[in-house]
Amino acid sequence: MQPRPLALKILDFASVIVLGVATYLALVFAPTEAVMGQVQRVFYFHIGTAWVGLLGFILAAAAGIAYLVTKDMRWDRFEVAAVEVSTVFFFITIVLGSIWARPAWNTWWTWDPRLTTAAITELIYIAYFMLRQGIDDPEKRARFGAVYTLLGGVSAPITFMVIRLFRSIHPIVIGAANGTQEKMNMTSDMRVAFFFGLFAFTIIFIDMMWHRIRLGALEEKVEQLKLTVSM
């Protein structure tokens, strides 16, 4: 395997730096929120990880379509990387949300549309990996994986819309709030921490994706070598 390209080395370095800065902004720079207290600071990472989790989900579905059209294995590696990295970030999002919910709503979990959709999305990811594990032929594995990410990518928004018919208490962070839901009021310092968090996690996400894609290339090489040796 080739050594890390310079751009990736720079990206690694940048990821560590932005993660540090984002942590500083969230924990020290941003003012303590009056209603929630310290735990509100969890929210900066919650939003950041949620954003990249969603980004990865959309990228995976797009890569699935691209694979089905081009049949290029590189899209498959991209798709696996997107799904895996966003599984990790989505998991962090869900647990951070849960930690926030405990003092805020006095419960670890509610069946709110965003929470439930996030949990179902995580289950789709897990099903995706189980599906891939059950198939030996790499080409077939890629095809089935692409079809499944496409199905998941379409069904998750509909799930969200359906669950919204039931009820919601999740605060709306961006955009208009209706009467029943509370809207978060952010001071300008909070906004800085908020948007920097989004930026930082985007960088970290790209970095992790890149590493995971390289790992996928290595996996493929091992599979091919195993085939030639056993022949």
Partner 1 sequence: MFLETIPETSNYMIAGYAFAFVIMGIYVFSMYLRNANLKRDIETLESLQSEKSKRSSSSKKK
Partner 2 sequence: MANKSESKKQKAESLHPSFFKATLAIIQKDLSAEFRSFELISAMLVFSLLVIIIFNFALELDIKVRQSVTSGVLWTTFAFAGTLGLNRSMSVEKDRGCMDGLLLAPVDRSVIYFGKAISNLIFMLIVEGIVLPVYSVLYNVNLFRFDLLGVILLGSIGYAAVGTLLSTMSAQTRTREVLLPILLFPVAMPVLLASVKASNGLLAGAEFAEVLTPINLLIVYDVIFIAIAFMVFDFVVEE
Over the window 37 to 76, marking each residue x when it contacts partner 1 by CB under 8 A and - when it does not, the resulting string is xxxxxx--x---x---------------------------
- Examine residue 200 and tell whether it contacts partner 2 (CB under 8 A): no
Over the window 125 to 154, marking each residue x when it contacts partner 1 by CB under 8 A and - when it does not, the resulting string is ------------------------------
Which position among 150, 208, 209, 213 is part of the footprint of partner 2 (CB under 8 A)? Answer: 150
Over the window 117 to 136, marking each residue x when it contacts partner 2 by CB under 8 A and - when it does not, the resulting string is ---x--xx-xx--xx-xxxx
Beta strands in 60-208 (DSSP E): none
Nearest approach in angstroms of CB 228 to partner 2 is 23
How many residues sit close enough to partner 2 to count as binding (CB under 8 A)?
30
Among partner 1, partner 2, none, what does residue 221 contact (CB within 5–8 Å per kind)?
partner 1
Spell out the long-range contacts of 12-15 with Cβ–Cβ below 8 A and sequence spacing 24 or more.
12/207, 14/203, 14/207, 15/203, 15/204, 15/207
DSSP 188: H
Q: Which residue has the tokens 């930690």?
A: 99
Question: Do the Cβ atoms of 107 and 119 come closer than 8 Å?
Answer: no
CA distances from 100 to 54, 111, 153, 192 (A): 20, 15, 27, 20
